[in-house]
Amino acid sequence: MTQASTQLTAGEAKLRDFLVPRHEAMVADLAHHVSIPTGLGHDPGLDEYRGIVLDRLRAIGGVVEMRTGEARPTWLDFGSQSDDAPAVRMPPPTAVVTFPGNEGPGILIACHLDTVFDPIGSFTAMTISSDDKTAVGPGVVDMKGGVLITVNALEALAEAGELPNITLALTSDEETGSYASSQILRDLSKEAEIGIATEPALPGGELVVERFGSGQFRVETRGKSAHVGRAFVDGVSAVNKLADVITKISAMPDAERGRILNIGPLLGGAASNAVPDLARAWGNVRFPTNEIADELLAMLRELQTSPESMPSVRVDCSFNRPAKPETGAVTRFAQLARGCAESLGQQMPFAKTGGVCDGNILQDEGLPTIDTLGVRGGGLHTSDEWIDLSSLVERSQLMAVLLHRLKQGALTQ
């Protein structure tokens, strides 16, 4: 980037200045949003929070369409006893918001409303530090802070009459694999040219330019039940067979190549005095390339036996988040974002991570995507999840300026 390209235009300076006095209001809004429970598929909270966000987007001309996707496979539910059991809940909807009549390349922004936190747990509110610089709370960075900065950036652009050709996807199941929203995101990606997700930045404001992919699997073993005291030799232990399979899986990881497998949780047997005829183990895989994903899939499939075997082994797999490598198009987009950050006096180093998000899906559909344009913070998915409160205004300004430059065709110049 040249020095000239990192300087704010007069219009961008107005966007920056419009957002400066919003700090206190944004902190108050964030505290309210964080207090609404949206974890573990809590529909009342998701509906309330979604409604608040959609009201603000409608106020600046957003047109809302609700879409419903496919249900999450029941075998993914830990502890499930039957694959034929009905889904615990209806697939959560995805709110798709468009702003008709605006010019520029099509930009798809993916935000998720759900969190990982128990809606009736002890971690249910935002607490601000004594120096007012940070706060902790469920989903405060992942990603209620990211949703909030996006809304404020769009309000700034609307005030300036500079809304881009944007589609906003507000999903409700990212933390459980995006099964209901994945195809919706893929369909929307086909109509766009650029992808953004508002996952939190790393604590120093780093922009993630490369992500691993991930997948889920379940190993199920079946044996023959028998009374331990009267007919032990007639039984065939599904738990013993599962232990044998887990030992084989434990030899599969190759961390240097990024081939990662993890097992847990486990289920097997109902009583210690009965030979167990059913056992299950759930696991997660991570991979830096889709070629290594194919290796993992083949290795897991080789563990299977025929259903008539005694004991038998079945492996179910769902590699639903493809790897997100750094490409030339992603590098150019990241450099544009860095130029915007520098024009605002912000730093933006680049980084890589083994975590996954909806940005993996957008890029897999061909969109150059950057996905850590949310707020700064850390402790994701823990009771120490925290946000740097100064990043609310700063990242709103960054989002507004970046969207303005994308509208002007900066990524294609």
* Residue whose entry in the numeric block shows the structure tokens 């082994």: 313
The set of residues, in sequence order, having a beta carbon less than 8 Å from that of 36 and lying 6+ positions away, is 45, 48, 49, 52
Average pLDDT score over residue span 368-394: 97
* Other beta carbons less than 10 A from residue 183's beta carbon: 15
Q: For residues 230 and 379, state if they share a domain.
A: no
Instruction: Dig out the tokens for 172 from the structure.
Output: 């409700």
Confidence check: pLDDT of 336 > 50: yes
pLDDT over 70 percentage in the chain? 96
Q: Identify whether residues 59 and 172 lie together within a single domain.
A: yes
Q: What are the backbone angles phi and psi of residue 100, rounded to the nearest 5°?
A: -60, 150
Region 200-222 average pLDDT? 95
Which band of pLDDT confidence, cut at 50, 70 and 90, is reported for residue 6?
low
User: Which one, of 280, 283, 273, 270, lies nearest residue 238 by Cα?
Assistant: 280
* Cα Rg of the chain (Å, integer): 24
Burial class (CB in 10 A: 0-12, 13-18, 19+), 306: exposed
Check the CA dihedral 336-341-347-351 and report its sign: negative
Phi, psi angle pair for 44, to nearest 5°: -60, -45
What is the average pLDDT score of the chain?
95
DSSP of 351-400, one letter per residue?
EEES---HHHHHHHTT--EE-B-S-BEE-TTSTT-EEETTHHHHHHHHHH
Domain boundary among 258, 291, 320: 320
Task: Determine the Cα–Cα distance for residues 271 and 188; give it in Å rounded to an integer.
Answer: 50
Is there a domain that residue 260 lies in? yes
Give yes or no: residues 152 and 231 share one domain: no
- The answer to the question of residue 105 being in a domain is yes
pLDDT band at 4 (very low <50, low <70, confident <90, very high): very low
pTM of the model: 0.94
Same domain, residue pair 167 and 18:
yes
Please check whether residue 269 lies inside any domain of the structure.
yes
Structure tokens at 380: 């994701």
Where is pLDDT greater, at 89 or 334? 334
Whichever domain contains 403, its CATH number is 3.40.630.10
Do 75 and 38 lie in a common domain?
yes
Q: What is the pLDDT of residue 412?
A: 77
What is the CB neighbour count within 10 angstroms for residue 104? 20
pLDDT per position as a tens digit, 28-63: 999 999 999 999 999 999 999 999 999 999 999 999
- Give Cα separations from 375 to 185, 191, 359 (angstroms): 22, 27, 16
Task: Give the angle subtended at the CA of 362 by the CAs of 340 and 384, to the nearest 5°.
Answer: 70
Max intra-chain CA distance, the chain: 86
For residues 3 and 321, the model is more confident at 321
Mean pLDDT over 173-183 rounds to: 96
| Range list of β-strands (E), 56-202 | 63-68, 93-98, 107-112, 127-128, 134-136, 166-171, 194-197
Q: Are residues 230 and 311 in the same domain?
A: yes
Which residues form the domain of 293? 213-320
pLDDT at 349: 96
Residue 412 lies in a domain: no
Residue 192 lies in a domain: yes
**Would you say residue 85 has pLDDT above 80?**
no
Q: Which two tokens stand for residue 401?
A: 């300026």
Residue 241 pLDDT greater than 60, yes or no:
yes
- Residue 263 within any structural domain of the chain: yes
Q: What pLDDT is stored for residue 1 in this prediction?
A: 35
- Whether pLDDT at 89 is above 70: no
Helices (H), 79-218: 144-159, 182-189
Q: Give the residue among 296, 320, 290, 315 at the shortest CA–CA distance from 304.
A: 315
Domain boundary among 274, 293, 320: 320
Are the beta carbons of 256 and 316 closer than 8 angstroms? no
Overall domain count for the chain: 2
Question: Which among 295, 320, 345 is the end of a domain?
Answer: 320
**Within this chain, do residues 112 and 232 fall inside the same structural domain, yes or no?**
no
Residues 334 and 281 both lie in one domain: no
The CATH number of whichever domain residue 313 belongs to comes to 3.30.70.360
pLDDT at 335: 97
Are residue 79 and residue 179 in the same domain, yes or no? Answer: yes
With beta carbons less than 8 A apart as the criterion, state whether 235 and 95 touch: no
**107: amino acid identity, one letter:** I
Query: Are both 382 and 236 inside the same structural domain?
Result: no
Same domain, 241 and 314: yes
Q: How far apart are CA 195 and CA 211, in angstroms?
A: 15
Mean pLDDT of the region 77-91: 64
Looking at residue 81, what is its pLDDT?
52
Tens-place pLDDT, residues 260-317: 999 999 999 999 999 999 999 999 999 999 999 999 999 999 999 999 999 999 999 9
Quote the pLDDT of residue 78: 83
What is the residue whose two structure tokens read 């259903």?
307
Residue 413 lies in a domain: no
Mean pLDDT of 94-115: 96
Q: Are residues 287 and 156 in the same domain?
A: no
Q: Is residue 344 pLDDT above 90, yes or no?
A: yes
Asked whether residue 221 is domain-assigned, the answer is yes
In angstroms, the CA 18 to CA 348 distance is 22
Q: How many other CB atoms are there within 10 angstroms of residue 193's CB atom? A: 17
The pLDDT of 315-324, averaged and rounded, is: 96
